[in-house]
Amino acid sequence: MTRIEALEMDAQRAQLVADVETLVEKYRAIFDWDVPEVDQALSNRLILAALRQALDDIEAASSSATPT
């Protein structure tokens, strides 16, 4: 990452974290609605694992894409 991109990422990092937390909360609420007596810790682990897999998939797709 070049310097200007790194600076921009640093400026946006807090917002990115907040956005991911909101996404986790969204899926946590869905678990709460769909699963009676939900195991909150297990739900959190499953949601975070799915997010990590999604990020890995996106990273793999973006690194294999040809620049235009």
Q: Which pLDDT tens digit goes with each residue over 6-33?
A: 999 999 999 999 999 999 999 999 888 8
Predicted model pTM? 0.75
Per DSSP, helices labelled H in the chain are: 3-34, 40-64
Position 46 scores a pLDDT of: 94
- Residue 57 structure tokens: 């998939």
Residue for token digits 């986790």? 24
* Window from 27-31, 34-38, 46-50, 51-55 with minimum mean pLDDT: 34-38
**Looking at residue 66, what is its pLDDT?**
63
